[in-house]
Amino acid sequence: ATGMHSPATAKVNAADVGLNAEHGEAIATAAAAARFSSAAQAGRGAPLRLAWRRLRHANEIVGGSQAIYEKLYADDGEGVRTFWLDSSCTTEGRARFSFMGGPGGPLWHALHYMLDAPRHVQNFENANRDGGSDGRGVNGASDTPPGGSLRVVRGAEPGMAASPTDFAEEEVRLENGLLSYLQKALEALSVAPEAALPFEFSGGYVGHLGYELRGECGASHTRRYGVGPDASLSFADRFVAVDHLTGDVYAVAMHTTERSSGNAPLAIISSASWESATALAASEWVESVSATLVAMKAAAISPPPDFKRKNSAAEPRAAMEVRRSRKQYMADVQACLDKIAAGETYEVCLTTAMELSPSEDVPHPLRLYRELRAFNPAPYAAYIHNGPGAGVLCCSSPERFLRVARN
């Protein structure tokens, strides 16, 4: 996730649902890509601010983060274009927060990026066909310069909050690639940390960067199996955070009061969009979310039922197809060992994939994720629905690859 996903860091300050609710407004650290450049720290224009409210112990009252996510973001049963950075398993010192968000804010937009096809690829036939090993050390360099096409999705009316179904799209050509584009976008943000919130995430880009994007870093392209974008990100200007340590829940909304603040995360965001992202609109959203949580408490909603593992041999199961046969996979392992012995690389993470063909037995993505988090709870889990044609991520990871702190 380009948004900072610290130990499943969901920046949520929950408050008493309806009782002793705390309001706060703070300078936002809107650069969720976890990179605070000198330009951003110096500030360009008025800083973005956050309107937020803490509901104490709300996570315990309403039945957990799953109930909150499904009520706020998955009423459609799917959670289209939403994200849930889910600490479904919490341990001391790790995975304290969960974060969730989706369309609705005036600054929200989604980016779907596809790299140009490589002109020349130096293939390593056996190992790394699935993009699992180090491209620079194993595959060599490609002569394909960075660049690709970017599909931008946002609210249909400039300056208006995006409804769940009303979106506009446009294609943008990126000659210098997505990473350069994101760097410039984040450097344009004028942000400052907010000490009152217990998490560092203050909004920004959340999503995934595919293995193929390493082509923008001087490594070679690998054979492409996926049909979706090489990267998909959404700009979260409104989100809910759950503190699993305290049980508090936070509703957080980003806003600015200046039309030309110099803070636009992307050139495609019009000044009208920023003008409409007022403190009033942000506060209204925060109050709306808080009211929903209060109503959930009043209705005494019980936690969603856990999925129980079934042991019946007669239970129908969708057929899984392994991409690499055992013989091919073992040959890949040997090829990796040969490269290590030759000094070409020192470590290889060899991966493969299992695929399901569409059928009645294949579970819906959100149901699949519910089962996944029930059977295999993890501190760094995630459900990210990128929207039609862009894929859905159902992740249950025990590890965090990288964390970049505010400083």
Q: Looking at per-residue confidence, does 287 or 257 come out higher?
A: 287
| 320 falls within a domain | no
Which of the four pLDDT bands, split at 50, 70 and 90, describes residue 162?
A: low
Q: How far apart are CA 1 and CA 206, in angstroms?
A: 5
What mean pLDDT is predicted for residues 130-144? 44
Helix, coil or strand: residue 297: helix
Query: Tens digits of per-residue pLDDT, 168-217?
Result: 899 999 999 999 999 888 887 765 567 789 998 888 899 999 888 888 88
pLDDT of amino acid 165: 62
Which residue type does 99 have? F
Q: According to the per-residue pLDDT averaged within each range, which of 3-17, 38-52, 62-76, 114-128 is highest?
A: 62-76
pLDDT of amino acid 342: 96
pLDDT of amino acid 357: 72
Question: 65-72 vs 279-298: helix axis angle to the nearest 10?
Answer: 120
Helix, coil or strand: residue 282: helix
Which residue type does 179 have? L
Q: How far apart are CA 39 and CA 186, in angstroms?
A: 9
Count of beta carbons in the 10 Å neighbourhood of residue 400: 15
Residue 392 CB partners (closer than 8 Å, separation 6+)? 365, 383, 384, 385, 386
Strands (E), 34-108: 49-55, 83-86, 97-101
Question: Is the pLDDT assigned to residue 32 strictly greater than 70?
Answer: no
Please give the C-alpha separations between residue 205 and each of 31, 110, 253, 299, 340, in angstroms, as whole numbers.
Answer: 8, 9, 14, 34, 37
Q: How far apart are CA 29 and CA 18, in angstroms?
A: 27
| 269 falls within a domain | yes
| 354 falls within a domain | no
Tally of domains in the chain = 1
Q: Looking at per-residue confidence, does 263 or 358 come out higher?
A: 358
Count of beta carbons in the 10 Å neighbourhood of residue 22: 15
Look-up of token digits 């799209």: 169
Q: Looking at per-residue confidence, does 315 or 384 come out higher?
A: 384
Residue 91 is given by DSSP the state: B
% of the chain at pLDDT higher than 90 = 31
pLDDT of amino acid 238: 94
Domain that residue 168 falls in: 6-305+364-397
353, 225 contact by CB (below 8 A): yes
Query: What radius of gyration, in Å, describes the C-alpha atoms of the chain?
Result: 22
Query: Tens digits of per-residue pLDDT, 294-317?
Result: 888 777 655 555 544 444 444 445
Q: What is the β-pairing status of strands 109-115 and 148-155?
A: antiparallel
Least confident of 20-24, 275-279, 337-341, 396-400: 20-24
What mean pLDDT is predicted for residues 328-334? 95
Query: Tens digits of per-residue pLDDT, 362-383?
Result: 778 999 899 899 998 899 999 9
| 209 falls within a domain | yes
Q: How far apart are CA 93 and CA 56, in angstroms?
A: 21
Residue 109: beta bridge partners? 154
| 156 falls within a domain | yes
376 φ/ψ angles, rounded to the nearest 5 degrees: -140, 70
pLDDT of amino acid 100: 97
Q: How far apart are CA 133 and CA 340, in angstroms?
A: 12
Q: Looking at per-residue confidence, does 145 or 124 come out higher?
A: 145
Question: Is the pLDDT assigned to residue 90 strictly greater than 90?
Answer: no
CA nearest neighbour of 190 among 33, 48, 59: 48
339, 136 contact by CB (below 8 A): no
Q: How far apart are CA 289 and CA 71, in angstroms?
A: 10
Question: Is the pLDDT assigned to residue 352 strictly greater than 50?
Answer: yes
Q: 124-138 burial by CB neighbour count: b if 16+ within 10 A, else e?
A: bebbbbbbbbbbebb
Look-up of token digits 């998955």: 74
Number of H helices, E strands in the chain: 9, 15
| 25 falls within a domain | yes
Least confident of 291-295, 319-323, 337-341, 387-391: 319-323
Please give the C-alpha separations between residue 175 and each of 116, 168, 211, in angstroms, as whole numbers.
Answer: 10, 23, 19
Residue 113: beta bridge partners? 150, 231
Mean pLDDT over the full length of the chain: 73
pLDDT of amino acid 138: 40
pLDDT of amino acid 44: 53
Query: Tens digits of per-residue pLDDT, 103-133?
Result: 988 889 999 999 987 765 444 444 444 444 4
Q: Looking at per-residue confidence, does 10 or 44 come out higher?
A: 44
Q: How far apart are CA 24 and CA 16, in angstroms?
A: 14
What mean pLDDT is predicted for residues 20-28? 31
| 224 falls within a domain | yes
pLDDT of amino acid 158: 52
pTM of the full predicted structure?
0.76
Q: How far apart are CA 232 and CA 216, in angstroms?
A: 15
| 52 falls within a domain | yes
